[in-house]
Amino acid sequence: MGNVHVIDHPLIQHKITYIRDKNTGTKEFRELVDEVATLMAFEITRDMPLKEIEVETPVSKATSKVLAGKKIGIVPILRAGIGMVDGILKLIPAAKVGHVGLYRDPETLKPVEYYLKLPSDVQERFFIVVDPMLATGGTAVEAIHSLKKRGAKQIKLMCLIAAPEGVEVIQEAHPDVDIYVAGVDEKLDEKGYIVPGLGDAGDRLFGTK
């Protein structure tokens, strides 16, 4: 079963409060999501493997550490996931960015992939799938499935806010995927919104309604 990491760092919790606030406008909302994504990236990379190399400081030779593991791929789920990409790239500027888009089939109500573009070396990368809201979990399950179908072996899911239902669905469908969130809220409402949540993340990021 994948672990759920609730990142309760005070800076993240402070910013999440203003992200939730309906009086926060588009510009500030976008900036706050970007900042929280950077802070969460710090936590999601905590277990990245290191190796020792030799460097020469101005004073002497030194054995020091550099990242040793797989290269990283960030995959935002369209559209709201895009709002978290730049924040992660601030910490991991060499990461490559794929995109996955899914729509809900009106008859089966199941998410269907309509767009997928990933870095060519999928098997060699460690992927961070990002979406601000983990609501029913249906879209994230399918997005992760899309990556696995193309050969992705190591995947983490990073969201701002999750509903307990969404967490359970991911853990069931993808027990190998750890989930990183800033908060797990109370429930989903009848329209699939997270309560209390923050409303429609895509609309609030892009100023649409």
Query: In the bound complex, what is the minimum distance in angstroms from residue 61's beta carbon to ligand URA?
Result: 52
Measured from the CB atom, the residue of 87 and 138 that comes closer to ligand URA is: 138
Measured from the CB atom, the residue of 35 and 165 that comes closer to ligand URA is: 165
Cα–Cα distance, 179 to 201 (Å, whole number): 18
Query: In the bound complex, what is the minimum distance in angstroms from residue 204's beta carbon to ligand URA?
Result: 8
Give the annotated binding-site residues. 79, 104, 131-139, 194, 199-201
Measured from the CB atom, the residue of 100 and 135 that comes closer to ligand URA is: 135
Query: In the bound complex, what is the minimum distance in angstroms from residue 12's beta carbon to ligand URA?
Result: 18
- Return the active site residues: 104, 108, 200, 203
Question: DSSP letters along the chain, please?
Answer: ---EEE---HHHHHHHHHHH-TT--HHHHHHHHHHHHHHHHHHHTTT--EEEEEEE-SSSEEEEEEE-S-EEEEEEBTTGGGGGHHHHHHH-TT-EE-EEEEEE-TTT--EEEEEEE--S-GGGEEEEEE-SEESSSHHHHHHHHHHHHTT--EEEEE-SEE-HHHHHHHHHH-TT-EEEESEE-SEE-TTS-EESS-S-HHHHHHT--
Q: Which residues of this chain interact with ligand URA, rule CB under 6 A? A: 80, 133, 135, 192-194, 197, 200-202
Give the annotated binding-site residues for uracil. 194, 199-201
Query: In the bound complex, what is the minimum distance in angstroms from residue 186's beta carbon to ligand URA?
Result: 12
Radius of gyration of the chain measured on its C-alpha atoms: 18
Measured from the CB atom, the residue of 151 and 196 that comes closer to ligand URA is: 196
